A and B are shown apart, each in its own frame.
Chain A
Amino acid sequence: MNPSAASAVPLLKAKALTREFDEGQVKALRGVDFSINEGEFVAIAGPSGCGKSTLLQLLGALDQPTSGELFYRGESVPDNPDPAAYRASEIGFIFQAFHLLPTFTALENVQLPMFESYCSRSERRERARELLRLVGLKDRLAHFPSKLSGGERQRVAIARSLANGPSLLLADEPTGNLDSDNAHAVLDLIISLQQEQGRTMVLVTHDPSIAERAGRILRMMDGRIVSDQLVPAESVAANRK
């Protein structure tokens, strides 16, 4: 099913993944198979309720599948005895609603994931400062989320997702709460960071124009992947202009 060039061990591999709720009455995922290689930018596209956010939660070990298997670098994700460590060191989340903590400044929000790393206090602060500079917010370090625009909040969230240098970025409708100008700018930022740093990214969206900026699109419908499409490099480049 995966048309991309397969390396020895894919970064992510799912086999017959299902997720049911309410004792099987709601079937969010009905047997999903795919593999994603290191460095890929994959969009998961589909209408609301097709199961794409549920899939993203399973990839980030925020939830457990009902059946099936999911591997990260060949290791089972559901059987990981320490999912918090997996999330802290390997995963960077970017949410649609930003999910910044309101009582902390931009600089502090970015530092929050770093408590699970072995950084000293000053290292945490320096790294957060550097990440905020990277997302263009070096003048907003001491601002609380309520004093930032939507676009700025999502930039803080992006900086936070990079705090522990994750291999895999999981973005759930990252521009869904932004106006078109901000959405465009934030998406450019996410993609440029992914490209420059060679990270793997899985982005969930219902917007086809956003999905087409990825190198590969997994389309979902009713809990299944209905197509797996590689986007030609030239059209990716054209879409990113």
Chain B
Amino acid sequence: MTFFTVVIRSLLRRPMRTGFTLAGISIGIAAVVALVGMSRGFEKSWQVGLKARGTDIVVSNRSGSLTPKPFDASVRDRIKDLPHIAATCDLLVEVTSVEDSDLMILSAREWGGFSWDNLELASGRMPRDAAEEAVVLGQTAAEVLKKKVGDPIQIETKQLKVVGIVRGGALVEDGSIILSLPLLQKILGSPNQINAIDVRVTPSTNEQQLRDLTQQIQQRVPQVRAVTISEHLNHNEGFRLVRAMSWGTSLLALLVGILGVMNTMLMTVFERTHEICVLLALGWTRRRIIRMVLYESALLGLFGGIIGVTLGAIGVRLLGQTPALRGLLQPDLGLPLLGLSVVIALVVGIVSGLYPAWRSSRLMPSVALQAG
């Protein structure tokens, strides 16, 4: 028998209670994994989407929400002659409900712009010209909307036709409804309005030149923000909000987990007052008693963390399959997040055990004899 046997035996003494505590902490950790994993995945898929389009700099309105406010297309003319710019592409991107799907990305692109280049036809064809009342769907968007080539599709007040299904090379592209910019501007009744310009730089441009270019763009057009792709995601208020909400909700769930473990450990200590007093009478030091209680709570945290990570990973995959989120979510469940979640659970376990451990170490061993 080792000291660890003593710890394990104590936990197994009340299997139901230990089980419920594990469930509590697991749910907290599952929430961390699911929410943070989804928000990270969301960011990552946008980043991959932008890279797949060959975009280096995004120029958008300063508001920086998920779909920025529109601005006038003439901005492009003011920046296109800056050094290192190889190409630009005007965009009007909306996240909106289309037919039965609540959240669809509507991506209108300058006709002939480079953002069309990475789209690979899976079936059908591309629109013939900027004016054709037609769209192409990313593969996932087609699945979500249950559309095939030739089907009609209602965009705002206008009925358009699906002429092709495309592979975009990234989740965001695959989940989008793609059409020509003039067509969407016409449907929305806002000619010359765009809300982003994708900028592609020359291949020889280095990081410093890229940053210099963003500053030059902003100097020329003060009302816009020009950022590199990675900055775009970091500075985007929409992403920041998603990030804050996912962590906020997770921490709330974790707090519930902490209270659960603390309650269990306090119950354990109260219930085992007699046993702890006997151990003190047998010569166990108060330090060893503290260690015993802390090891128990840490183990609860560790196992709760492992179960929670598993539950969270499974849950988020199932969630990603739901019709409402399909195509928008590709959870980022990398090892760092899973590892961090287990570490958080372990810390939660230890922190929750501190007060009960302190209480247990204050017990007077004479109680054991009096109880006899």
A interface with B by C-beta (< 8 Å):
53, 56-57, 60, 62-63, 82, 84-85, 87-89, 91, 93, 95-97, 99, 101, 103-104, 107-108, 111-113, 115-116, 121, 124-125, 160, 163-164, 172-173
User: Per-position contact with A for B345-372: 1 when CB-CB < 8 Å, else 0?
Assistant: 0000000000000000000111011111
Q: How far is the CB of B273 from chain A (nearest CB, A)?
A: 12
Given the complex of chains A and B, what is the CA–CA distance between A89 and B284 in angstroms?
11
In the complex, whether B3 has a CB less than 8 A from a CB of chain A is yes
Query: Contact: A87 with B282, CB < 8 Å?
Result: yes
Q: How far is the CB of A2 from chain B (nearest CB, A)?
A: 25
- Is the CB–CB distance between A95 and B279 below 8 Å? no
A21 to B: closest C-beta gap in Å:
11
Q: Which residues of the other chain, A, contact B2 by a CB distance below 8 angstroms?
A: 121
A-B contacts besides A97-B372, A113-B282, 5 pairs, CB < 8 Å: A62-B369, A84-B286, A101-B278, A101-B279, A112-B284
Nearest-neighbour CB distance to chain A for B47, whole angstroms, equals 53
CB contact between A115 and one of B3, B275, B365 (< 8 Å): that residue = B3
Distance between A207 CB and nearest chain B CB, rounded to angstroms: 16
Do A103 and B1 touch (CB < 8 A)? no
Residues of A within 8 A of B275 (CB): 101
**Docked CA distance A112–B276 (Å):** 12
Chain A minimum-CB-distance residue to B365:
A62
Partner-A contacts on B (CB < 8 A): 1-3, 5-6, 9-10, 12-13, 274-275, 278-286, 288, 364-366, 368-372
* Bound form: Cα–Cα A160–B3 in Å: 17
Q: Determine if A62 and B5 form an interchain contact, defined as CB atoms under 8 angstroms apart.
A: no
Please list the 9 inter-chain residue pairs (A to B) with the smallest Cβ-Cβ separation, ordered nearest first. Answer: A88-B283, A97-B372, A87-B283, A84-B285, A113-B282, A63-B366, A62-B366, A99-B278, A62-B365
- A111 and B281 in contact, given A96-B372, A103-B13 (Cβ under 8 angstroms): no
Chain A: which residue is nearest B8 at the CB level? A103
Instruction: Determine chain B's interface SS by DSSP, over half rule.
Output: helix
CA distance A108 to B279 in the complex (A): 13
Q: State whether A89 touches B283 (Cβ < 8 A).
A: yes
**Which of A93, A104, A108, A121 is most buried by chain B, counting CB atoms within 10 A of its CB?**
A93
In the complex, are the beta carbons of A125 and B1 less than 8 A apart? yes
Contact of A116 (CB < 8 Å), options: B1, B283, B364, B366: B283
What are 24 A-to-B residue pairs whose CB atoms are below 8 Å?
Answer: A62-B365, A62-B366, A62-B368, A84-B283, A84-B285, A85-B283, A88-B282, A88-B284, A95-B368, A95-B372, A96-B372, A99-B274, A108-B5, A111-B1, A112-B282, A113-B283, A115-B3, A115-B288, A116-B282, A116-B284, A116-B288, A121-B1, A124-B1, A172-B372
Distance in angstroms between the alpha carbons of A136 and B3 in the assembled complex: 27
Shortest Cβ distance from B302 into chain A, in angstroms? Answer: 21
Name which residue of chain B comes closest to A99, CB basis.
B278
Query: Bound complex: CA of A96 vs CA of B368, how far in Å?
Result: 11
Note all chain B residues with C-beta closer than 8 A to A56. Answer: 369
CA A159 to CA B1, docked complex, whole Å: 17
Closest A residue to B13 by beta carbon equals A103
| The residue from A53, A87, A164 contacting B281, defined by CB atoms under 8 A apart | A87
Q: What B residues does A88 contact at CB under 8 A?
A: 282-284
B13 with A108: CB separation less than 8 A? no
Q: Is the CB of A116 within 8 A of B285?
A: yes
Q: Which residues of A contact B371 (CB under 8 A)?
A: 97
Q: B113 to chain A: closest CB distance in Å?
A: 72
Among residues of B, the one whose C-beta sits closest to the C-beta of A96 is: B372
Chain B's nearest CB lies how many Å from the CB of A173? Answer: 8
Q: Check B280 against A84 for contact (C-beta < 8 Å).
A: yes
For A121, the closest partner residue in chain B by CB is B2
Complex: how many Å from CA A103 to CA B8? 11
CA A144 – CA B58 in complex, angstroms?
71
User: Is the Cβ of B283 less than 8 Å from the Cβ of A164?
Assistant: yes
Q: Which of A57, A103, A112, A113 contacts B366 (CB 8 A)?
A: A57
Q: With both chains docked as a complex, state the minimum distance between the C-beta of A186 and any C-beta of chain B, in angstroms.
A: 15
A95 to B10, CA, bound (A): 22
- Chain A residues, Cβ within 8 Å of B280: 62, 84, 87
Chain B neighbourhood of A99, CB < 8 A: 274, 278, 281, 368, 372
Are A160 and B365 within 8 A (Cβ)?
Answer: no
Which of A53, A108, A115 is B284 in contact with, Cβ under 8 Å? A115
The answer to whether B366 and A93 touch across the interface, beta carbons within 8 angstroms, is: no
Smallest beta-carbon distance A195→chain B, Å: 24
